Structure 1
């Protein structure tokens, strides 16, 4: 399915070459540290999402500790959360891409970054108070989602927090993603193994939410003056069923 429909979290395993192909598509994005060079609307949305993520962590009652950013890419997201959540956290970012990690170490030298696969983390059990997976779970083959979530739970301490973000089924499914999620399917993925209780799911949408605006962004690429119009740039909270992205805060149980 390429239209964003929820494909669920089970089914036949994809062929190894399909997984490799999708990882290669993701790796190709890191020819440059692209999260660090976002243009106006992309930067605004990225930073606003970081604000909401930090707010969810603070609202959960967590005030510090060891934090792991799984699938950190070029480290921009780790950096933004570290800025917002303050010195009480000790951050480590991991990603399968050596190229992305090299950029992360260059761009955010005050944080720790390592090449690791998020589905086979090197950390010992119960190592972290907070685990973040920002736009990662959609890259996991559906039959492997339960094992991936279990691995995140393994490295969390009792009563630790998990913060997951992912596109919804309202968005087109790009070739590098295996699936997008509804609120229900995301809750099932996180709670199905019994290791987490989801406290909150927050929907975010581009502003304005009309899908015609998303198409208009394509023209804005060829018309740089449009990037100066704040009305084209923004996100807002939306009910999950209407949102473009979901942010879920779960607690280890």
Structure 2
């Protein structure tokens, strides 16, 4: 289908499922040619180009970026969506786990963006969109490690936006609230009472439900759009008001 991304080439990391898959579909629906970087590249459906890529390995990242440019001749949009979760207080994860999660959630974004920069610099519509989280701006229980990585993503996004604005590259991030994703599904399945845990996750968001992957994808598409040419260094919350609203209890 034709649309605002006609002629543009996008990379979406972690795009084989969940939010990443929704982002890839949304960009393609509006005309982009989309390559998906994922460890599970065999699960990437057509029409996307699925490339096996380990974002903790610089050689793997550079090879995947080279493949995209070699095949399509350009790279305009990078969506750094790949990430992993972590639970617990600061006492519950080892040094090795802290390093592992930071390597994926933060340094992984650095590797992909760094490899893409030479190509983005010659694009007329260059943009990077990072997936952040409500955990970057709100204290959530049992999320110390995960929150620390997403706080780093928020600061990294703003620093990148400042560094690359005059090169014609916009950098923004989207911050979902608790989203109905496969990772959340696995957490719910492990809970003693999955139904009660789901209700608690839904209740802590002012609009009373979890965020959908499609809602996050719509926000990413806005931030990536050439029509948002004056939008850079922005964090767009998609959280049902969790970040900013303080509602009174129902009926009061």
User: Structure 1-normalised TM-score?
Assistant: 0.47
User: Structure 2-normalised TM-score?
Assistant: 0.47
